[in-house]
Amino acid sequence: MNYPSFKIQDQVDNYFGIDVQDPFRSLENVDNAVNEKWYKKQGRISRSVMEKITGRELLLDKFIEYGNRAEDNVSEVKVTESGYHFYLKRRKGENTAKLYFRLKYEADEILLFDPAEFDETKNDYVISYFNPSWDGEKVVVAITHSGHEISDLLTIDVTNRSLYPEKLSKAWPDSFLGVSWLPDNSGFVFLRFEEAKDGEEITYSVLHKLGEPELCLKKIFGENLQEGLLIEKSSAYPIVTIDSRDTEYAVGYMATVENFWDAYITPIEDLKNGNPIWKPFFKAEDKVYTSEGVFYDTSFYYRSNKHQENNTLNSVNLQDMDFSSATIIASASEEEILKSFIITNSSIYYTTTKNGVEAKFYGIHDKEAESIALPFQAGSIFLEQGANYSSQIWLELSGWTSGNRRFYFDVNSKKFKEQPLSSQVEFAEFNNIRSKEILIQSYDGVDVPLSVIYRKGTQLNKSNPTLFYTYGAYGTSIPPFFSPIFLTWVELGGILCIPHVRGGGEKGEEWHLEGMMSKKENSWKDLIAATEYMIEMGYTSKSKTVIYSMSAGGIVIGGAIVERPDLFAAAIAEVPILNPLRSEFRNDGGSSNMEEYGTLKDSIEAMGLIKMDPYINLRNSIQYPAILATAGVNDPRVPLWMPGKFIAKAQGYSTSGRPILFLVNENSGHGAENESLKLYEEYVDVFSFAFWQTGDPKFQYYP
């Protein structure tokens, strides 16, 4: 292929005695005119190739038809204590979701906000987040456009469905614990992103009082705001949350990408006045899971990894706040991981998961835990509660081949009643699709969970195109989910595999630790082991295997390519991190990602970064598989040069003759979850490339 040329420069860095060559360093300057031209030409050439693959219309038509089969699609349901139901809904034929509400489940729905009508600058806005006040009389909505994730906040008066006059900028609530309303509903707090004079990003939690303009925002938590309060982690995000309208305290978290944070506490009354006095609450060493804690009566309830590897539910008395002598309320069985919990006035309920794919539901009554039978065996459970301590409980259940279903749980009768907020739909096309859970042995003898989704009657003749979708970072699991998009891959003759590799959270926090920093190689070696297993069992062959991930999962994909280029027909990485060695040199300083990958300031962690970096470890004159990487120009998480440098090097080094493409999207960011058509188009690219490279006759390239 006629790839864009680029002048290689001799750039060598020495890290603790190790020389590392970085010949495409100059591509990090994405604003340079020459580099900008190179990126745009890569995007044009790659798009031209992708558009000449047959079968793309087949995929897009299926995705649109499946997406429109239901009259409407509902997501992000939030119920207030008064019973108001708020939710996003995308009706048949619509591209973006609108905000609706009902006075109660049985009531008629009312359209509350349509982002298409908010057209101050003629941008195509989408709703990225919303949160109603405790009384349900107001709701804050975050809107953004063109893939940007930094949002503007609007506040809606629910009674008359009108907007408050103020618009608040520089928020990112869908990724930073959202917006917390004051108990009296007079305002809210949120994390705000600001830019210092030297160009570095700084953040503070701020207090907004309804009706006041943006310039009146009050900084309430962050560095150098309180004399004598030493906040040690400058790379952390200072986030304030309020978990209930009845609580006496607000909690300030120094949030990082990891699961355990330092926390501070202040009385709500002081925070409302804009003068909080923060005191230490707990430390990261107490292993309290992020922001899950709940104040109830005189205690603080939380999930912890300190006492057992598979987690416990604990409480600590607010009089002494001594987390070293906390009370253990519940723990999971040896094979299960305690995942979530809610507190009601009469009981405690919690969920567990086994290997990340088998979910269970428990209730605690008179200090005894009992398993509660679900309406069907679910792979994942999402708990909803009308308000903290409320006995109004909903469960959303899902599986690989069973659609998301929402049930109301009656705490008195222990019965479930289905309460869907969208029209139900059948997918007869998927009736013969099955799933099974396997434990496969990795290179070091460790058992790795592998989910396999396939058509009934699949022949073990090694000819099945097989897509391996994985992630393996930040302790994030891939729970069973129902996706007509992914199931289309299986419907069209493929096998879908989800290797739950180390670095994720499927088997607990230790599973995460075994796939990060200097142990990151375990993540891609687990992926390699899963691929080898499927080949050995006769499901597929090397010419039929495709590996796929996104964002931090790019390290896993890149590591597998570097170590076993012979094992895969193709590799696909969306908005991927492929040069983690240089993460600290991003415009935002790498944020707190150093806690997941490591830092160049530490000799051991620096060696781990060198070892895990796919770009650095590409070798010349190797037959690499076909590669498709994507990037969004407006992506705040993964800069354009992260995949760009890798692609430039791979295009020059590979001798396989297989395409190495780089789709640069001018008007997108870190994905297109909020716009259905963009999401469909992304998966048209993914699946058409994968089927093309595995030889499917429906997907061929014609220049």
Local structure of residue 567 (DSSP, 8 states):
G
| pLDDT at 92 > cutoff 90 | no
How many angstroms separate the CA atoms of 628 and 46, rounded? 9
Of the candidates 490, 444, 440, 445, the residue with the CA atom closest to the CA atom of residue 467: 490
Q: What is the pLDDT of residue 276?
A: 94
Q: How far apart, in Å, do the first and last CA atoms of the chain sit?
A: 11
Average pLDDT for 314-340: 93
How many angstroms separate the CA atoms of 170 and 167, rounded? 10
Beta-bridge mates of residue 698: none
Contact (Cβ atoms closer than 8 angstroms) between residue 566 and residue 542? yes
| pLDDT at 388 > cutoff 90 | no
pTM: 0.94
Q: What is the dihedral of CA 553, 558, 564, 565, to 10 degrees?
A: 130
Which one of 148-157, 422-431, 518-527, 673-682 scores highest in mean pLDDT?
518-527
Which one of 65-79, 196-210, 396-410, 549-563 scores highest in mean pLDDT?
549-563
Contact (Cβ atoms closer than 8 angstroms) between residue 213 and residue 167? no
Report the CATH superfamily, name and number, of domain 34-64+427-693.
Answer: Alpha/Beta hydrolase fold, catalytic domain (3.40.50.1820)
Q: How many CB atoms lie within 10 A of CB 43?
A: 20
How is domain 295-424 classified at the architecture level of CATH?
A: 7 Propeller (2.130)
Q: What is the pLDDT of residue 672?
A: 63
CA atoms within 13 A on the CB side of 660: 22
Beta strand 660-665 pairing with 626-632: parallel
Segments making up each domain of the chain, as ranges = 34-64+427-693, 295-424
- Give exposure, 171-182, as e/b (b: 16+ Cβ within 10 Å): bbbbebbbbbbb
Residues 6+ apart with CB under 8 A from 442: 448, 522, 525, 526, 529
Contact (Cβ atoms closer than 8 angstroms) between residue 328 and residue 313? yes
SS3 call for 602? coil
Beta strand 249-255 pairing with 110-113: unpaired
SS3 call for 462? coil
| pLDDT at 242 > cutoff 80 | yes
| pLDDT at 263 > cutoff 80 | yes
pLDDT digits (tens, 9 = 90+) for 649-675: 999 999 999 999 999 998 788 776 666
pLDDT digits (tens, 9 = 90+) for 445-487: 999 999 999 999 999 999 999 999 999 999 999 999 999 999 9
How many angstroms separate the CA atoms of 153 and 516, rounded? 35
For the chain, give the longest Cα–Cα distance.
73
Q: How many CB atoms lie within 10 A of CB 68?
A: 17
